[in-house]
Amino acid sequence: MRIVFADGPYARNGLPDSLRKKFGWIPHTALRRVRARGFVILPKRWIIERTFAWLMWHRRHARDDERNIKNSASMIYIAIIRIVGRRLARKIQF
């Protein structure tokens, strides 16, 4: 993994620099143009929103009730494994 897509607010808190230093990832933030008015389609923003929507299919992610960050991260891994597993099962057709 080399490029990481993130929403605009994540660019303001120093996250891009820490991702670059710690993991060597290249962060790409979906930012809105300064002069844009009204609704504007942002390139790559749909990828971020689609991923969040997939995670929200799982009840546990609908609210931030986890007290421990490791529990939350584990539930995200389980959700992604489930999503990818279902897609692979559809393609393989046992």
The 8-class DSSP code of residue 34 comes to: T
Cβ contact 58:82 at 8 Å: yes
Cα distance between residue 91 and residue 87, in whole Å: 6
Residue-level pLDDT, tens digit, the chain, 94 residues: 688 877 777 777 777 888 888 888 888 777 777 777 887 777 777 777 777 788 777 766 666 666 777 877 888 888 888 888 888 888 887 6
pTM of the entire predicted model:
0.51
